[in-house]
Each structure stands twice: as C-alpha cells, then as structure tokens.
Amino acid sequence: MTKKYIFFKIGIIGTFICVLLLALLLTSSNIRDIIKNNLSKDFKNKLKDTVFIYSTNKKLKEEIADNQKEISILKNRNKKLNYQKYFNLYYKDNGIHTETSTVSKTGERNFNKLKKFRLMTSNKSNYLNEEDFSGSFYIEKNSNNFFLNFANGNLFFFNKNDLNTNKINIKNIKNNIKSFIDNPDKLRVTSRVRDSKIINENLYISYVKKIKKSCFNISILMAKIDLNNMIFKDFFTYPECISTKIAVTGTGGRIEKIDNNKIAFSIGEQLNLFPAQDPNSIFGKIITIDLKTKKHNIIAMGNRNPQGLVYSKKNNLLFSSEHQSKGGDEVNLIKIDGKKIYNYGWPISSYGDHYDWVSEEDKKKYPLHKSHQKYGFEEPLIYFNPAIAPSEIIIEEESNSDIFFLLSTLKDKSLIELKYNLLNKEMKFIKKTSIGARIRDIYNEPEYILIAMEDNLIAKDGTFNILSSIGYLSVD
C-alpha cells in the first residue's frame, strides 16, 4: 500500500466527516436562522439540493401523504353527497315495480318471469348520516312478512301479498344494529352485516365485529322479532381477530339452520392465508353452534370464503358454496358425521391461482396444488374456472336419488342449476340463467324465488351508486 493511496483514503474519510459535521451543524435551528438571513437565495437552494436533500424529501413525502389523505376525505364526501342526491331522486319510487322481463326457463319449476322492484338502502330519517351505501341485502321470511336486512344495518319488511302489486310497501324497523357496526374510519367501511336467518321467532344477523384497533372477526347478533323495534344483542362472538385493512372482504358469515337447536356458520379467512390450516384458529372454518348453550364445534377447515350454506334435512347433508382465489370457486359437501374435522385444502390445494399481491414467499408456502385428494384433502363436488363469485346456494327439489340446487353468483350475475346424485355422490352442472345483476341472496318459496339484486349506477363523476332491486322469479 503506497503513501499516495493512504493519503487519498484519509482525504476521502476526512471529506466525509466534514460534510457530516456540516450537515449536523446546519440542522440546528441557530445555524439555519443565520443561513436564512445571510445567504443568497441561489446558494440556499443549492444547499437544499445537496446538504438538506434528505430533510427536503422527508417534508415532500409528508406533504404528499397529507394531500392524499385530504383527497380521500374529499372523495368520500363527494360519494356521500352523490348518494344523497340519488336517494332524493329515487326515494319516491322505493318499492315500485320497475320492469318485468322474460328469462330462460330456470330450475325444476321452469320459472321464466322476472319482476323487479326498486329498493333503497336507507330511509328518510337516516340517509343524511349514512357512511355505508352498500346495496347488499339478505332476505328472510316470518309468517306473511319478508325481511330485508341491509349490509349497512338498516332493516325493513313488507307483506308477501305486495309482490302481486305494482309497488311493495317497504316499512322501516327501528333497531340498534348500527351500534354494533363500528365504522370509525370515514375513509373506509370496516363493518357490515353478512347474513340473516330467522329461527324460532328470533332474527340472527352475522356481522363484521371490531375486537380491537384494526382487528376484526365475524360474529352473530340476535333479537326477538318485533316489527316496531328490534333490540339486538351479541349471540355468538369470540376474542380471536385478524388484523386487516380490508375487514369486510373474505369474511364468510353465512348462517344455516340444521335443526331447532343448532346452526351451521361459515367463517372466512379474511384474505389471510395462514389461519385456514391452523386447527387452533376459528378462521377459515365452518362450525356448528348450539342455540341454547352457544357452544361451537369446528366441522370443516381449509375453507377460504364460504358465502353459501344449505342443509338437506331429508338426507342430513350440508353443502357450501365458496370463493377461491382468482378462479376455482367451489361447491363442497361438508361432512357432519362428527367423526373428525374434514379438511377442504385451502390454501395448500385449490383450482384457482394466487393474486399478484401475494408474496413469492407465501406462494411457495401455499402452492395451490391442482389436486385435493392427492394431498389428503376433500375434493370439491364441482369447481368453476373462470371465477363466478358464488353467493347463496339453495335446494330447489329433492328426490330419492337426486338433489337439485340453484346457486346464485355475484361476478357471473347468474343463477346456476346443479344436480347432486346421492348414489354416485357426484354433482353436475345443468345450465345457467343470466339475471344481469350481482346476486347477494336468494330465498326459495314453493311458487317463486326472491332474488337480492345489486344494480350499479355510474354517476357522471365516475363514482358508483348502488340501487338495489328485489327480483320476483316465477312462472309466466
């Protein structure tokens, strides 16, 4: 090593130390004031672009973040005003018959007439304070009344005879659901109703519950049916929660009656891959709950986002419809023999693919094998590629050899007919009927089917405004 090299190296280190000391001195308030008052503008700008570059960029990043937050607030405010405008425009027509169309013959009963009634997601006393404008709703029936349970916590009913008129008389039911739905962040919705079920004169409602800051689960409320005022209280909840920014996605939450003392309940993994295969986690599972003791048992695991459940009392069989990832949506036979917890594979096996936002590390850990049986999991009865986004599934008819289903879809905007053979234990696709709107729920009656439809309107400013409709599907 030559002396020349040594002096060169010392010079570099010395220069670095001098620059560092200068930077430290210049960051003190006294030095900054001297510079500010005595140096030329051009020289000060040069210092900003060199010595103070880190400090300048930090301030710029903070300013950008503040501006983005302000833009989000303004967008949300604009969305709210836009909703209020459309509410005032259409509220007078709430419940009105908007159209009747002919569809292809659907199901074993050959339903082909679709009569649509417009629904609003709020009422005159609440609409100015609404933070969630979702058009998602769920249908239940008690006696002669149909109940419409909206995702934002609003609850309505109408008499079944109104379906034969040109306007259904939508009546609001006072309730306390919104006191459970915690949406403190005005920039995003973090809590919604996810299903409803009437059992023994009680209305059960599943909802996304905030357990602690930025940590949520899917729980159940319950209230005695009262058309004047329904007071809900927690029926089933638990301390486990998932930290997520997208709390209302991938929640499951479907409730299905098994008998007068037991329900099945689906709990999604909320876009988190790991809990579905964790036997100690309740997420990514299907459970049963005793209505008296409120004790639960896990009956299925390895589930991603089961949005449909239906029970065949005649054959003691439980079926689920389930969102997978980027295709591979499934219908599964959920075994309830009590022998063991059956595993349906997610996220080790799936006929879908990972979304782009999944890390390479997680893609290796959760490979999504294109076989379930090979890796010790239950195969789906049927799967769909591309994705259809299944919602509810109902049994239309049952014989000694076959069960006939109707499966509603969100993305595909259709009703899909399926047949399950009890002898060979195979499910086959029969046909699908296009409905033309996202279907959140369906309710089966002997002479017709009611369809919970989400109709998207796009305003001139590009924002979405959801007007819902209830579809009355019957024979022409």
Residue-wise pLDDT tens digits, 72-105: 778 878 878 888 888 888 889 999 999 999 999 9
Residue-wise pLDDT tens digits, 410-453: 999 999 999 999 999 999 999 999 999 999 999 999 999 999 99
- Report the range of poorest mean pLDDT among 187-191, 200-204, 261-265: 187-191
Residue 104, classed as helix, strand or coil, is strand
**Cα–Cα distance measured from residue 165 to residue 97, given in angstroms and rounded to the nearest whole number:** 8
Identify the sign of the CA torsion 159, 255, 238, 137: negative
- Report the range of poorest mean pLDDT among 106-120, 220-234, 459-473: 459-473
* pLDDT above 50 for 211: yes
pTM for this entry: 0.85
Query: Comparing C-alpha atoms, which of 354, 367, 297 is closest to residue 325?
Result: 354
* pLDDT above 90 for 238: yes
* pLDDT above 60 for 242: yes
* pLDDT above 80 for 9: no
* pLDDT above 60 for 243: yes
CB atoms within 10 A of CB 459: 14
pLDDT at 134: 79
- What is the percent of the chain where pLDDT is above 90? 67
- What is the percent of the chain where pLDDT is above 70? 84
pLDDT at 428: 98
* pLDDT above 70 for 274: yes
pLDDT band at 127 (very low <50, low <70, confident <90, very high): confident
